[in-house]
Amino acid sequence: MDINFEYYKIFYYVAKYENITKAAMALGSSQPNVTRVMKLLESQLGCRLFIREARGIRLTEEGELLYSHVEVAYRHLMNAQEEICRPDSLTGGAVELGTTETALHLFLLDALHAFRQKYPEVRIKIHNHTTPETIRQLTGGRVDFAVITMPYELPVTVSGFPVLDFEEVLVGGVQYKELCKTSLRLKDIRKYPWIGLGRGSATYALYKEFFIQHGVDFEPDMEVETSDLMLPLIENNFGIGFVPEKIAAPLFEEGKLVRIPIDCDIPRRSIQIVSDHGRGKNFAADTLYKYLRDFLQGSVLHKESQDKFGKIKME
């Protein structure tokens, strides 16, 4: 079945704006022409793509499925066209980057700051989700690559490599300072409200398994969608929870949080850069990917060079 690809472009704008009049204006076309093309597309596909409503149109289930593919393809085509047409394509372009909140704060913020200084023309759009949702966005083609929190079982089409290991600690607000005197057993956590990331996150699955391995079946009293919501709740004494030590450290020094010792090892975690090896990246995405991959190594070498230079000057 041969379909004019111009139909898909028109379909993209109609689905994007959910309004035929607005789509026609964006395309520089007329409303009757857009309506005619959409009827032809529905006829050739043999299904209904839109439902007319008072405020505009709504995609059918088939329309949603088609848009999920067309939107990705259209974005990649526009990015490729932009790179090809730009004389400074080596320093321009756009990147769709997926990440978790923890990866953003522990690794990406520093790395992106340095990258932006070197490549100020590259546009970066960050999609912030849990690790499972970020992987779904990656395999669905909605992001070029991702920086996620591990452990998490990756699909066979996705490969990754660690860029940072980190430790988490059990913390509470100042109301829980009495718990700092002795090591807490995991089963003792039942006595206190616990705050954690919700179902569907890699962190929830990790600690669910961690508790089960120690003979404790336990659920959070308060579930949050992103890790940045945990600290304000813990700091305000709503409960205790596991957070990255690096993020909690400043709050320890300010006396806003206390570290609660436990009598077993907390699972170590890592930040990984992952990509779908069955799909290529545009030049901007590939440049950022390689930059992030080498960022920490470059930072270490730079620090060693500064330390060595400083030592030579002192001598």
Q: Let me know: does 124 contact 288? Beta carbons within 8 Å.
A: yes
3-state secondary structure of 164: strand
Mean pLDDT of 15-24: 86
Q: Is 127 exposed, middle or buried (0-12, 13-18, 19+ CB in 10 A)?
A: middle
Q: Domain containing 125 — which CATH number? A: 3.40.190.10
Are 299 and 263 within one domain?
A: no
Are 139 and 288 within one domain?
A: yes
Are 161 and 204 within one domain?
A: no
Are 139 and 201 within one domain?
A: no
Neighbours of 272 (CB within 10 A): 21
Q: Let me know: does 214 contact 264? Beta carbons within 8 Å.
A: yes
Q: Which of 149-153, 190-194, 249-253 has the lowest mean pLDDT?
A: 190-194
* CA 13 – CA 40 distance, rounded (Å): 16
For 48-92, the pLDDT digits (tens) are: 888 888 777 888 888 888 888 888 777 777 766 666 655 454 456
Q: Which of 120-129, 231-240, 295-304 has the lowest mean pLDDT?
A: 295-304
Number of domains in the chain: 3
Q: Let me know: does 46 contact 54? Beta carbons within 8 Å.
A: no
Are 179 and 258 within one domain?
A: yes
Are 277 and 157 within one domain?
A: yes
| Domain that residue 144 falls in | 94-165+272-314
pLDDT above 80 (res 96)? yes
Are 137 and 100 within one domain?
A: yes
Domain end, chosen from 50, 65, 85, is at: 85
Are 172 and 258 within one domain?
A: yes
Are 33 and 48 within one domain?
A: yes
Using the 8-state DSSP alphabet, how is residue 127 labeled? E
Are 183 and 126 within one domain?
A: no
Q: What is the pLDDT of residue 67?
A: 86
Q: What is the pLDDT of residue 100?
A: 94
